[in-house]
Amino acid sequence: MTRREFREHTAILTFIYEFYPEDEWEEQFDFYSDYAGISMDDRESLRLRVLAVENKKREIDDFIDKASRKWRISRIAKTDLMLLRVAVYEIKFDEEVPNKVAVNEAIELAKIYGGDESPAFVNGVLAKFMTKEEKKEEN
């Protein structure tokens, strides 16, 4: 599985996690993994990543809340929020993923899963997590 596919599955499963009680999530994970054709080799690392995002959700949401001043978590579209959570997790807690990669991938996924304004919104929020040097590299 490519890193982009891994990230996309993580975002989708994070979205699914929102709608099911915790005790039903493993069943939903297995159902989704079967449906999406995720290999047994990739399932464990994917499951661990989703749970890592979920375990840090309160912290991640605080970061998002501060970066999206006019949009509180409760007002952000669930699809945008799932992408933001995965990207902020990568920026703040995963040293292997460069910040600009996390941002660019989230924007690309927002084009697929979000509304017309989603890519700009996701970019605007995540840009606040980039250093000045990273922002210069983008231009």
User: Dihedral of the CA atoms 25, 27, 28, 30 (nearest 10)?
Assistant: 120
Q: What are phi and psi of 107, to 5 degrees?
A: -65, -45
44 contacts 73 by C-beta, under 8 angstroms: no
The token duo for 101 is 């990669």
- Whole-angstrom distance, CA of residue 18 vs CA of residue 13: 9
Q: What is the pLDDT along the chain (139 residues), one digit of tens a residue?
A: 999 999 999 999 999 998 888 889 899 999 999 999 999 999 999 999 999 999 999 999 999 999 987 778 888 999 999 999 999 999 999 999 999 999 999 999 999 999 999 999 999 999 998 865 555 555 5
The token duo for 66 is 């501060």
64 contacts 84 by C-beta, under 8 angstroms: yes
Sign of the CA dihedral running 116, 122, 125, 128: negative
- Whole-angstrom distance, CA of residue 101 vs CA of residue 8: 13
Q: What is the pTM of this model?
A: 0.90
